[in-house]
């Protein structure tokens, strides 16, 4: 239940709170990976349509984030990291968040359909449904594998960006999807390891809470191990050149090394959890640079800098 705050509720919600509902921090990565998928795809798209596609992906992600916060307001209220969000902070009516989420989702899907195509719009609609319903409502409160399957939600942007350009689904965008899919568990579990008390307080079955730290650490290691060859597969199948291949090898090797340091240790009371924090920070850097290298590789091929 949202605590009654008469003065706060008398005021119309500030527009900044609506903006905060879209999780702008997450949106940066969404926009970046979608843009990379679009730039790396073979083909061209008019700049106005490309801008529209990126905007729709970002607004769709914002809509899904708003729906997620509408559904999870009670959980957010008991977690330190999320307790100052607009809903648990009592700065917004719950219904406003719901309506805002549905409106953003609907507008983004319709605009994508009209401007780009209905296949792209359909995948965008599915990605919103995937995050707002399959992940938030269905899986997150039920299984410690929530983040594994939920990772799919964050993996959609480059796939949608690529398909916006080509108009059809091929192996390359699916590989980009799979890279983010396999990257999400080690990224998120590294975070969950150092904020696990928050999750257990909220009753969310996060892996460290349910399966314990040791199992989570082994699983982080396993996913990082799979990510190394997977991130190089676009090169193996000839979808990219050696610039990307080499960058993927180096970046994923460091990712694996940091995961080994997390995977083979046990935390002690009063532990600063430095290796976990380092892995979490590196995982964000990793995804940014990996996708940037995909674009660099594509332009290097176009301009004849590599075969």
- Residue 266 engages other proteins in binding (rule: CB under 8 A): no
- Residue 166 engages other proteins in binding (rule: CB under 8 A): no
Using CA atoms, how far apart are residues 300 and 277, in angstroms rounded to an integer?
Answer: 34
Of 7 and 270, nearer to other proteins (C-beta) is 7
Of 1 and 268, nearer to other proteins (C-beta) is 1
Candidate ranges 111-119, 199-207, 247-255, 284-292; the one touching other proteins (CB under 8 A): 111-119
Choosing from 33, 52, 96, 219, the residue that interacts with other proteins (CB under 8 A) is 52
Of 59 and 139, nearer to other proteins (C-beta) is 59
- Residue 44 engages other proteins in binding (rule: CB under 8 A): no
Binding residues for other proteins restricted to 167-186, rule: CB under 8 A: none
Q: Which residues have a Cβ under 8 Å from the Cβ of 240 and sit 6 or more positions away? A: 40, 234, 294, 297, 298
Candidate ranges 11-19, 156-164, 253-261, 263-271; the one touching other proteins (CB under 8 A): 11-19
Candidate ranges 8-16, 60-68, 208-216, 217-225; the one touching other proteins (CB under 8 A): 8-16
Please answer whether residues 21 and 103 qualify as being in contact, where contact means their C-beta atoms are separated by less than 8 angstroms: no
Min dist. Cβ of residue 93 to other proteins (A):
7
Q: Which two tokens stand for residue 152?
A: 């799919």
Q: How many CA atoms lie within 13 A of 247 on its CB side?
A: 19
Of 90 and 205, nearer to other proteins (C-beta) is 90
Candidate ranges 96-104, 107-115, 149-157, 201-209; the one touching other proteins (CB under 8 A): 107-115
Using CA atoms, how far apart are residues 227 and 217, in angstroms rounded to an integer?
Answer: 15
Of 90 and 122, nearer to other proteins (C-beta) is 90
Min dist. Cβ of residue 89 to other proteins (A):
14
Q: Which residues have a Cβ under 8 Å from the Cβ of 99 and sit 6 or more positions away? A: none
CB count, 10 Å around CB of 142? 10
Q: Which two tokens stand for residue 185?
A: 């568990």
Min dist. Cβ of residue 4 to other proteins (A):
4
**Helix 213-236, helix 274-302: angle, nearest 10:** 10
Using CA atoms, how far apart are residues 201 and 281, in angstroms rounded to an integer?
Answer: 24
Binding residues for other proteins restricted to 115-144, rule: CB under 8 A: 115
Q: For residue 13, give the DSSP letter.
A: P
Using CA atoms, how far apart are residues 65 and 69, in angstroms rounded to an integer?
Answer: 6
Choosing from 6, 238, 269, 270, the residue that interacts with other proteins (CB under 8 A) is 6
Q: Which two tokens stand for residue 71?
A: 């559904």
Please answer whether residues 17 and 72 qualify as being in contact, where contact means their C-beta atoms are separated by less than 8 angstroms: no
CB count, 10 Å around CB of 5? 12
Radius of gyration, CA atoms only, the chain: 20
- Residue 269 engages other proteins in binding (rule: CB under 8 A): no
Min dist. Cβ of residue 71 to other proteins (A):
16
- Residue 94 engages other proteins in binding (rule: CB under 8 A): yes
Write the interaction track for other proteins spanning residues 55-84; mark x where CB under 8 A is met and - where it is not. Answer: x-----------------------------
Number of residues that bind other proteins (CB under 8 A): 23
**φ, ψ for residue 282, nearest 5 deg:** -65, -35
Binding residues (CB under 8 A) for other proteins: these are 1-2, 4-7, 9-15, 46, 48-49, 52, 55, 93-94, 111, 114-115
């Amino acid at each position: 239940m949202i605590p009654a705050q008469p003065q706060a509720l008398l005021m119309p919600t500030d527009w900044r709170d609506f903006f905060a509902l879209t999780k702008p921090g997450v949106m940066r990565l969404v926009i970046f990976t979608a843009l990379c998928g679009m730039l790396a795809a073979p083909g061209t798209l008019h700049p106005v349509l490309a801008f529209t596609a990126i905007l729709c992906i970002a607004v769709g992600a914002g809509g899904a984030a708003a729906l997620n916060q509408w559904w999870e307001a009670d959980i957010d209220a008991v977690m330190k990291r999320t307790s100052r969000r607009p809903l648990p902070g009592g700065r917004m009516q719950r219904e406003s968040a719901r309506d805002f989420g549905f409106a953003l989702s609907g507008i983004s899907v319709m605009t994508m359909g009209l401007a780009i195509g209905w296949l792209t719009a359909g995948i965008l609609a599915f990605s919103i449904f995937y995050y707002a319903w399959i992940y938030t409502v269905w899986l997150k409160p039920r299984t410690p594998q929530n983040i594994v399957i939920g990772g799919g939600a964050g993996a959609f942007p480059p796939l949608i960006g690529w398909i916006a350009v080509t108009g059809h689904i091929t192996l390359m965008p699916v590989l980009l999807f799979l890279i983010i899919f396999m990257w999400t568990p080690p990224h998120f579990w590294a975070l969950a390891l150092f904020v696990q008390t928050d999750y257990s307080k909220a009753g969310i079955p996060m892996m460290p809470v349910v399966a314990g730290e040791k199992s989570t650490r082994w699983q982080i290691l396993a996913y990082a191990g799979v990510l190394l060859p997977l991130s190089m597969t676009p090169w193996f199948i000839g979808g990219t050149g050696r610039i990307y291949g080499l960058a993927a090898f180096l970046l994923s090797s460091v990712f694996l090394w940091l995961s080994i340091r997390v995977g083979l240790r046990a935390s002690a009371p009063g532990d600063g959890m430095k290796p976990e924090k380092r892995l979490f920070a590196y995982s964000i850097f990793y995804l940014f640079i990996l996708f940037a290298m995909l674009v660099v590789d594509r332009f290097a091929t176009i301009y004849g800098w590599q075969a």
